[in-house]
Amino acid sequence: MNILIPSLIALLACCAPALAPAQTAQTAPTLLNLNATGSNGEKFSPDRIRGKVAIVFYWSTSCAVCRDSLPELRTNLNGWRDKPFALVTVNVDKKAEDWLAYEKIQGKTQMPSKGLIAVRQDDGKAVPMKLPLTLLVDAKGKVVARYEGRLAPEAWDGVADLMP
């Protein structure tokens, strides 16, 4: 019995990093490169969020984890409403109609939030290998952290650290 406890602790210790959201360290921050369009047909420009700390969240309507994260993102956005912060949700559905239908339903159930920019990635652009994908962007437009999978609490810590 006593042998099982140390073995269990060792097993948990080696597996704990696998349970955490994946973060890709970047050697040097890169500028946000996003080709996307809003539901009104307006092209997204990274200049739109320059001067603000931003979370850029890539998602799909077919991704349950992605859809589950959207309410948390909007709630946190409201908490930062008086700060220089923006939330950019980037849909990567194959069919624009799926995204537009989802946004229409959201529009009936939730008030638009100040600082929310909902866009769809332009056709032909590479879709992230793993969804959801969260990018933390500083006020200069540089991607300073990347998280794959479930929304990482570290992303919100990063927002707080980057705020003026």
Q: Phi and psi dihedrals of 148, rounded to 5? A: -105, 145
Instruction: Please state, rounded to an integer, the average pLDDT across all residues of the chain.
Output: 86
Q: What does the block give as tokens for 35? A: 């080709």
Q: Where are the alpha helices (DSSP H) in 3-125?
A: 4-19, 64-79, 96-109
The rounded distance, in Å, linking the Cα atoms of 34 and 92 is 12
pLDDT of the residue at 155: 96
Q: How does 153-163 read in b/e, with b if 16+ C-beta sit within 10 Å?
A: ebbbebbeebe
pLDDT band at 106 (very low <50, low <70, confident <90, very high): confident
Domains contained in the chain, CATH given: 21-162 (3.40.30.10)
pLDDT tens-digit readout, 129-151? 999 999 999 999 999 999 999 99
Q: What does the block give as tokens for 92? A: 């990567």
Residue 131 near residue 92 (C-beta atoms within 8 A): yes
Average pLDDT over residues 2-20: 41
Residue with more model confidence, 2 or 104: 104
pLDDT of the residue at 24: 53
pLDDT tens-digit readout, 61-86? 999 999 999 999 999 999 998 999 99
Q: What is the pTM of this model?
A: 0.83
Residues sharing a CB contact under 8 Å with residue 92, sequence separation 6 or more, in sequence order: 58, 59, 60, 120, 121, 127, 128, 131
pLDDT of the residue at 101: 95
* Cα 105 to chain centroid, rounded: 20
pLDDT tens-digit readout, 13-57? 343 343 445 555 455 789 999 999 999 999 999 999 999 999 999
The rounded distance, in Å, linking the Cα atoms of 67 and 70 is 5
Q: What does the block give as tokens for 112? A: 């638009």
Indicate the residue type of 21.
P
pLDDT of the residue at 25: 46
E-assigned strands of 18-131? 22-24, 30-31, 36-38, 53-59, 85-91, 116-121
pLDDT of the residue at 133: 98
pLDDT band at 157 (very low <50, low <70, confident <90, very high): very high
Average pLDDT over residues 84-90: 97
